Structure 1
């Protein structure tokens, strides 16, 4: 006797049962500048066709960065104005932030220096926390992000 295959509703949910996160999009008045900041900070690459022009005017209003496998990670869209967070003051909340991890305190200090050299602004130093040492920064457009020891 042939047994029919199990119905989709009777199986454990698969990846096709839910939307998939494609990338996180950050608003910015300077698309290339912010994309370049995260490209260098995270070791990402431009999606084919989004690379900086060899010469001439760079009028990009939307750019995408990918990881080494070509999977999209971050995108950047142009806005006329962006109000920077005032965190930790509550006037303008974070609304969202990126969490980036490193394996140990030495790597944390290395990435701290890199982030500052690339143009990040330090918002909070919590490296004295024995359980989860971290730094909180604002990127060049004002979006907050953390680097911490996982």
Structure 2
């Protein structure tokens, strides 16, 4: 027995499990856990729980279908963020490139803090409205 529990993956609620899984799969270069791949053409996609894994098969993110989800209003008050994901990139050039990639996949820019000399970053919202940060490591 281990001394501490081990983090398996982070699960994210969404009203579109497949859509959000696809967003993060493409953004992060992940793959589906065996059996979670999209169904063949013409077969309904009834998935309500999907898991993305890295190249070694380790679980990274999971997506749980929910009926409704109140989108955060951050940075405005009202509905707090509650949680967010942080992703790092190696340079300012890569920061801009990955912001553009994320937006092309459906992300929305919430905050541009790239002028901060100590920690340049972007805060974006994924297609379900969950905030995530991209910053230079």
* Structure 1 length-normalised TM: 0.89
Equivalent in the alignment of 1:102? 89
Structure 2's unaligned 5+ residue stretches are none
Structure 1's unaligned 5+ residue stretches are 1-14
Equivalent in the alignment of 1:132? 119
Q: SS at 1:63's partner residue?
A: strand
The structural deviation recorded for 1:108 is: 0.3
CA distance in 2, matches of 1:89, 1:112: 21
The structural deviation recorded for 1:90 is: 1.7
Equivalent in the alignment of 1:141? 128
Q: CA offsets, 1:38-86, max 9 Å, x none?
A: 0000000000000001121111100000001000000000100000000
The one of 11, 14, 18 aligned to 1:32: 18
CA distance in 2, matches of 1:32, 1:17: 35
RMSD of aligned residue pairs (Cα, Å): 0.8
Q: State yes or no: 1:53 paired with 2:39.
A: yes
User: Which structure has the larger Rg?
Assistant: 1
How many residues align structurally?
136
Q: Which runs of 4 or more aligned residues in structure 1 lie more than 6 Å from their structure 2 counterparts after TM superposition?
A: none
